[in-house]
Amino acid sequence: MRRRTLAKGMLAAAALGLSLASAQAAEPLKIGAVGPKTGPLAGGAAVTFWPNVKLWAHDVNARGGINVGGEMRPVEIIEYDDQTNPGETIKAVQRLATQDGADFILAPYGTGFNIAAAPLFDRFGYPMVTHTAITDQTEELAAKFPDMFFTLGGAQGLVGSVVDILNELRDAGRIGNKVAMVNVADAFGIEMAEVARPLLKEAGYELVYDSSYPLGTQDLSPIVKGAKAAGPDAFLAWSYPPDTFGLTEQAMIEDLPVKVYYTAVGTAFPAFGAKFGKAAEGVLGAGGVHADGERFKEYAARHEAVTGAKPDYWASAMVYSSFQILEQAIEAVGSTDRAAVAKYIHENEFDTVIGKIRFDENNSNPAYWTVGQWQGGVFKGVRSTGREGAVPVRLKEGWK
């Protein structure tokens, strides 16, 4: 009995396969996607990276596919979980290139993982449009890996904008001179703090509290208490999502009386606004988008409809834009010739959900969002290096 149903099922499946095959004569484009589904970065990737992979494949296939030299080819995504382990990222890229025969590979998630995978992308000749890599070393990297592109900006830009906001508020007499700064003791946090220290000093700020904490610290109250005791006007945290949430909860409990409150990664997540509600108002964070722009609104609505979740207010749109760049370049070149696609990316401007993107001589996107702020339940971009739609910064007025 069981065998017979199994046989029937197989027959049905075979028939279905045949009809599908005849309906879609064009061979799908194989696109590799590598990112963490488990491990410490999985939470961030689940907000920012994976939903966009799904959305992009959905959008492209709903249009009938990518137009490759007159033939509409749907995309087939081959996903690998790198377990937040650079070794696994490298293995997955190698596998995609040599065994799966991927036509193109989407850049992995996270700065370190992109740098780890760059030599392989380079060796196999895949153009690499990164979306979640934050680095100041674009010049060196671009020289080493000619087809590696950068979209999300660097520490100088992200930190520079924060100092710029402090300057603006101080010069207007709205805040004083004392800054408390903390950072997570991990590559990102350490680099940001090291960029920030000289910038703050140069601008004449007094660093009244400066401290780091290990990744995964379960009680951040000593840090917030220490910062509060130092009596700062501004509190800056170069933090990761779990500590962004943890620090903000403690700041709320301690009623941290600062006029400027900044936490880095995770502040732009919709979950941040959902958790803190009114207390989130006026909180500054890394990232931002032109939240009131039609293009972002339309993208956010589609993101929510297809994936069931809201995009974040920073890298989500950039991730999707990086896929659009690849898509537009393939269509324009009209073939899967990877060298030609890379060349096209170097030489042309792209129209994406984040706006127009053209790479400079260091393969970098010069115009990116740097700081956003929760205003009226939406995280709006307040500073960028040349994007339109920034709104004025407000002071943090209490935690109620």
Partner 1 sequence: MDILITGLLLGGTYALIAMGLNLQYGMARIMNLANGEMLVAGGFAAFWLYNAGQVSPLLTVFLVAPLAFALNWLIYRVMLLPLVRRAKSRGQLEVDSILATFGLSFVAVGLMLMAFGGDYFSYSYLARPVSFLGDTYALNRMVAFLAAVVICGALYLWLERSRAGMSIRAIAVAPESARLVGIDVPRLAAIAFALGGAVTAAGGALISSFLTLDASTGVVFTLKALIIVIMGGVGDVRGTIVAALLLGVMETFVAALIDPGLTLAAAYLLFILILLFRPQGLFGQRTT
The nearer residue to partner 1, 183 or 328, going by C-beta atoms, is 183
The nearer residue to partner 1, 7 or 253, going by C-beta atoms, is 253
Residue 364 DSSP label: B
CB 33 within 8 A of CB 78: yes
Show Cβ contacts of residue 199 under 8 Å, excluding neighbours closer than 6 positions: 159, 160, 163
The nearer residue to partner 1, 44 or 154, going by C-beta atoms, is 44
Structure token digits, residue 365? 């996107």
CB 104 within 8 A of CB 129: no
Please state, as a whole number, how many other Cβ atoms lie within 10 Å of the Cβ of residue 129. Answer: 28
d(CA 151, CA 134): 8
The nearer residue to partner 1, 246 or 293, going by C-beta atoms, is 246
CB 371 within 8 A of CB 381: yes
Structure token digits, residue 198? 């000289």
**DSSP helix/strand/coil, 149:** strand
CB 186 within 8 A of CB 241: no
Q: How far is the CB of 319 from partner 1 (least distance, A)?
A: 15
Q: C-alpha distances in angstroms, 317 versus 109, 182, 297, 301, 311?
A: 14, 28, 11, 12, 7
φ/ψ of residue 339, rounded to 5? -65, -40
Per 3-state DSSP, the chain is made up of helix, strand and coil in percentages (nearest 5) of 45, 20, 35
d(CA 77, CA 29): 8
Q: How far is the CB of 243 from partner 1 (least distance, A)?
A: 8
The nearer residue to partner 1, 148 or 236, going by C-beta atoms, is 236
d(CA 322, CA 176): 40
Q: How far is the CB of 93 from partner 1 (least distance, A)?
A: 21
The nearer residue to partner 1, 246 or 282, going by C-beta atoms, is 246
Pick left, alpha or beta for residue 380 (phi over 0 → left; psi -120 to 50 → alpha; otherwise beta). beta
Q: How far is the CB of 274 from partner 1 (least distance, A)?
A: 8
Q: How far is the CB of 326 from partner 1 (least distance, A)?
A: 24
The nearer residue to partner 1, 24 or 212, going by C-beta atoms, is 212
- The kind and range of the H/E element at 119 are helix 111-124
Q: How far is the CB of 249 from partner 1 (least distance, A)?
A: 5
**Residues of this chain that bind partner 1 (CB under 8 A):** 37-40, 42-47, 50, 84, 182, 185, 211-214, 216-219, 221-223, 225-226, 241-242, 245-246, 249-250, 252-255, 266, 269, 271, 275-277, 309
The nearer residue to partner 1, 39 or 86, going by C-beta atoms, is 39
The nearer residue to partner 1, 10 or 253, going by C-beta atoms, is 253
Q: How far is the CB of 66 from partner 1 (least distance, A)?
A: 28
Q: How far is the CB of 305 from partner 1 (least distance, A)?
A: 17
Q: How far is the CB of 347 from partner 1 (least distance, A)?
A: 37
Strand pairing class (148-149; 128-129): parallel
